[in-house]
Amino acid sequence: MGDRSEKGSGKHRRRTTISGDAAAHAKRSGATETLSGQVKEKEPRHETSASKPKSHSDAGDDTFSCHKLQESLLSSDSGYSNYRGILNWCVVMLVLSNARLVLENLIKYGILVDPIQIISLFLKDPYSWPALCLIIVSNVFIMAALYTERKLSVGSVSESTGTFLYSINLAALLFFPAVTVLRVTSMTPVGGVVALGVFTVLFLKLYSYRDVNKWCRETRHAKARTLSRSHSCPSVHKANGTTGYTPVTYPGNLTHRDIYYFVFVPTLCYELNFPRSPRIRKRFLLRRLLEMLFLMQLMVGLIQQWMVPTIQNSMKPFQDMDFTRIVERLLKLAVPNHFIWLLFFYWYFHSSMNFIAELMQFGDREFYRDWWNSETIPYFWSNWNIPVHKWCLRHFYKPMLVRGINKLPAQIAVFFLSAFFHEYLVSVPLKMFRLWAFLGMMSQIPLAYFVGRFLRGNYGNAAVWMSLIIGQPIAVLMYVHDYYVLHYGNASEGVAA
């Protein structure tokens, strides 16, 4: 009986906790403790429970359980983030809804695309090319900047005289083309936009050219005619590697080859030694060229087929001040306008700039960042156009901070400068001054405060997208309405959509 009770108590002890079972085995088997305090156990000679077949009663509910503690996938606490299927659904719905609009447009208006009409956007007279002639004249200002810098490099003129000459040259870069566009009757609005766009880019480039060369002279005087590249300009990330180009030092950069390379590369910030790609990739170049040609034709076709009828049909509600119809026209114009704007972004900032950069072996290809993820207005404006952002930061914003101006006034000044150039590129070619573009840019300041103060995350991103989708059509309708009233007497009587 005593043996049975011992065995029974042993079985009972094996059903206890792990720690108790280990202690009991240690006592019975004479386990010794190591220096670390761990217990070495002998393998039990009895049959483990894992090797025995479990009955339904021993297994309990765990064997047949099909539930566990978890959140629904669409709950924020679930941590689920793979919404690719929903994104594909949104794309399919977008394609189907726009396919209906395309079909409706074709049934109502027929085919309006006219490739020959595109030429009339640039030329009124086939024997008169005022925009092209104006662009060719821009070489005069380039040469003026180069020879001014050469005189400054050898000390023929003082810094104050050089600053005065540069001021005249840069002011003429803005006023001369504007006066020409306003006075020449054969200049079309599209031709005027292209010509003024070239002169605006040239203005920003030559301003940077003047600043960097001035920094080089200051460094040369301070370092006794020794100059390293890091002194003259900030280093830029080398996207595609570099080749064995010989580094240029001041004043060896003051050549025709150097300044014209800077004029044609897709950047607004001058450097003595740009990052260079090792070779020209012909397949990459061909893809970008085909994209440019295809997207250009697509944008022109969409403008003729989709936007022009909608804009024409918007004139009557504007004339009658029918606000309900105006809002309806605005929302109808928002879709094609935004779609064309997105195509233009890809055509200009990706296809065109990469084509030119590849052709010129320009290594820095960061022309845009992820502006589509913008949760604030400032983030969008600092990431969708990197060349302009770098110029504003390097030559306008930081110099104001150095002079002791606070950040907020400096940021407002940057928006003011951008607003000026937006209005300059719209009002002058249209030959009317309404300040819609200027006010649209300046309205970004209170909008930026509101979005940054009250909206966060996805709500902020949605607010940025809404400002892009709705804001641009408002400005388009304002300018088109005023242009029709100014040039045709009365707003066009559109066909009701």
Query: What are the residue numbers of the active site?
Result: 422
Residue 21: which residues within 8 A CB-CB, separation 6 or more?
Answer: 13, 14
Tell me how far apart the 2 most distant CA atoms of the chain are, in Å. Answer: 126
Alpha-helical segments (H) within 15-109? 18-29, 56-59, 84-109
Rounded to an integer, what distance in angstroms lies between the CA atom of residue 208 and that of residue 214?
A: 10
User: What is the DSSP code string of 147-215?
Assistant: HHHHHHHTTSS-HHHHHHHHHHHHHHHHHHHHHHHHH-TT--HHHHHHHHHHHHHHHHHHHHHHHHHHH
HSE of 210, CA atoms in CB hemisphere, 13 A: 24
Rounded to an integer, what distance in angstroms lies between the CA atom of residue 98 and that of residue 339?
A: 11
Q: Nearest CA to 288 among 240, 365, 363, 352?
A: 352
Alpha-helical segments (H) within 110-158? 115-122, 130-137, 139-153
- Quick one: CA torsion of 190, 194, 199, 200, rounded to 10 degrees? 90
In three-state form (DSSP H/G/I as H, E/B as E, the rest C), the secondary structure along 298-311 is HHHHHHHHHHHHHH
Phi, psi of 224 (to 5 degrees): 55, 60
Q: Nearest CA to 264 among 191, 356, 365, 345?
A: 356
Q: Nearest CA to 292 among 348, 338, 335?
A: 348
Query: Kind and range of the H or E element at 462?
Result: helix 457-488
Residue 39 DSSP SS3: strand
Q: Are 145 and 263 in contact (CB under 8 A)?
A: no
